[in-house]
Structure 1
Amino acid sequence: MGPPDTKRRDRRCEYHKDHGHDTNNCYALKDHLEELVQDGQLAQHVRKNNPLNTVTLRPDSPPLGVIHMIYSLPLPTQVHTIQLQPSLSKPITLAKRPHEIGKISFDDTDLDGATLPHADPLIVELRVNRFTVERVLIDYGSTLGIMYYKTFVKLGFTNSDMLSADYPLFGFNANPEYPLGRITLAVQAGTKSVDMEFLVVKLPSPDNLIMGRTWLHAMQAVPSTYHQLLCFPTEYGIEQIRGSQKSAQTCYLIVAAKRPKEPEVNAIEVPDRESLEDIGKTPSEKATKDLDRIEINRSPDKFFIIGTSLNEVDRREFVSFLLGM
């Protein structure tokens, strides 16, 4: 509660029976009520359309766990997506600097800790629903907050916790993407927490969340991808969260590893026929001006390639042989 001489006499907490803060702003009371809700002792007082797993975040409360990358790769080693931590776990460390209150600016001194040159996006970690969520993409080009379905599940939610979302999203691919639903959660960055509505989508991604302009404006936050910093004002002054270039580069490698390989052209040898020297190379390496493309059943996705050096009789026999296989 603080020393008696620093307490505000105009604010009283009925839970502590003391002055210093209002009852509605008492973190100890909120944590106690949340424990009762989780134990099922206040079920009759909780509205059913509110997610029971949504909790009020206290800046100094320990996280329930850490959500790392939720994208699976075909590797022999197992990737653990959740690591439960004890109550004495180390809290989030913030890169704080003595900025003037209310003024956010960047200079070369903010590059301390950044690897240059780089073209990395800003990837940070945030607290959501008492979990530390890593690989959160700060995207100033996005309007809304996006939560990927695997992250939604790791946070302890089910489909019944979502509200309907009937409007499509654009920008993920060529076609509009309809979200599975929406959910509003408290998102904590440093000592500051704001409620954020997420649209839940079921798409593959190396990121766990995308935080767009809606959250940035609510936080009054200013991101700098060059300095790899996210700055925002709080009642304690300007706070900074440094991005993780390692996470950004790992995300890029994951996406690159999932790209389909360029198909190879397999050789079909016919007795007494000399094989083309460039058979087996990738299409981009082949001398395409010396090849003919023959579609199968007039399907552009099914075809084979033969050389133009064949005479008309051999070409006709060869095509008939391949189409008859």
Structure 2
Amino acid sequence: MKVPNHKKNPDKYCDYHRDKGHNTDECYHLKKLTERMIKDGELNQFVRDLRDRLGPKENPEEEIEADEPERRDRIRGEFGQAKPHMPMTFSTEDYEDVIRPHEDPLIINPIIGQNKIWKVMVDTGSSANILFHKTYCKMNLAGEQLEPCNEAPLYAIGGHHIQFEGMITLPVLLDKLSYTVEKLVKFYVVRIESPYNVIFGRPFISTFEAVESIPHLKLKFPTEKRVGEMRGES
């Protein structure tokens, strides 16, 4: 589980994590993210702006050589080169703020439809994406109607067989700073009490080509630019 709030320094605030405990300029994770962005060339525009303000280098040839790889990459991109493979791996750095060992579920807060939904559990043991009826009623889905569902009953916790209320397809947005991906996801709406608002099952994992890690309490997914990630919430 994550570091409890009462153990965090209330006098420090991180704009990246939007949480107390440490200052933004002390944030280890933000530092590593910035290093990766520099390595990937995503901050080249800022580097060029700074270079223009400082004036030309003493050796113009060095500046030309520095720009040459970026120019070649841009030319290759214009010819529709396929996106590179994005390996999604987990390391010790991904254990940030996680107290081990633990058996906590992976809980994320994505945007579903036009709503930011809290307490969404990622459960690879579920063969369906579940939207609980209480959540469906609060989502302001004016004009959206459930599709009839004649599938077999869902075997729920406690041995109860619960019939689906219906189906609905909604856009789901996974967001990590500027790295976002949005796709349509089919949900089965069920009327049953649950501590969660939504359950993302294997169909969600497959749709987003995502990889989850319970030990790290983190979900990673490919975007157009790089691998995005969502940290589990307590």
**TM-score higher than 0.5 here?**
yes
Tell me the secondary structure at the aligned position of residue 154 of structure 2: coil
Partners of 1:114 and 1:91 in 2: how far apart?
A: 17
- What's the counterpart of residue 236 of structure 1? 225
Deviation, 1:109, is: 1.2
Q: Cα RMSD over matched residues?
A: 2.5
**Partner residue in 2 for 1:164:** 148
In 2, Cα distance between the equivalents of 1:150 and 1:177? Answer: 15
Correspondence for 2:92: 108
Instruction: Give the TM-score normalised by the residue count of structure 1.
Output: 0.44
CA positional deviation for 1:171: 3.5
Partner of 2:139: 155
- The correspondence of residues 17-36 of structure 1 with structure 2, limited to 5 A, is none
Amino acid at match of 2:172: V
Output the CA distance in 1 between the equivalents of 2:160 and 2:114.
Answer: 34
**Which position in structure 2 is the counterpart of 1:140?**
124
Encode CA deviations 1:82-111: one digit per residue, 9 max, x unaligned: xxxxxxxx9998x78439951011111110
Query: 1:252-307 CA distances to partner (integer Å, 9 max, x unpaired)?
Result: xxxxxxxxxxxxxxxxxxxxxxxxxxxxxxxxxxxxxxxxxxxxxxxxxxxxxxxx
Structure 1 position 159, deviation (Å): 9.8
Matched residue, 1:178: 163
SS of residue in 1 equivalent to 2:228: strand
Determine which structure has the larger helix proportion and give its number. 2
Q: Is the 8 A contact 1:166 1:178 kept in 2?
A: no
Q: For 1:221 and 1:160, how far apart are their aligned partners in 2?
A: 27
CA 1:149–1:121: 2 relative to 1, 3 Å? same
Q: 1:91 to 1:130 in 2, by over 3 A?
A: farther
Letter in 1 for 2:115: F
Q: CA deviation at 1:115?
A: 2.1
The CA distance in 2 between the partners of 1:107 and 1:237, in whole Å, is 17
After superposition, residues 155-234 of structure 1 pair within 5 angstroms as 155-157=139-141, 161-167=145-151, 168-190=153-175, 191-234=180-223
Which secondary structure does the structure 2 equivalent of 1:216 belong to? helix
Deviations 1:15-39 (A, max 9, x none): xxxxxxxxxxxxxxxxxxxxxxxxx
Question: Which residue is 1:122 aligned to?
Answer: 106
User: Which one has more relative contact order, counting CA pairs under 8 Å at least 6 apart?
Assistant: 2
Per-residue deviation, 1:232: 0.6
- Once the two structures are TM-superposed, the CA of residue 116 in structure 1 deviates from its matched residue by 2.1
Seen in structure 2, the aligned counterparts of structure 1 residues 203 and 158 have a Cα distance that, compared at 3 Å, is: farther
Q: 1:119 Cα deviation (Å)?
A: 1.0
CA contact (8 A) 2:120 2:198 kept: yes
From the superposition, tell whether residues 108 and 181 of structure 1 become closer, same or farther in structure 2 (CA, over 3 Å): same
- TM superposition shift of 1:160: 6.9
Alignment partners' CA distance in 1, 2:229 and 2:113: 21
Give the total of aligned pairs: 155
Contact 2:107 2:119 in 1 (8 A): yes
Q: CA deviation at 1:172?
A: 3.1
Q: Distance in 2 between matches of 1:199 and 1:183?
A: 7
Q: Deviations over 1:148-188 (max 9, x none)?
A: 11110111137971111111212333232111111000001
| Structure 1 portions without partners, runs of 5+ | 1-89, 247-325
Name the residue aligned to 2:62: none
- Rounded Cα–Cα distance in structure 2 between residues aligned with 1:188 and 1:224: 19
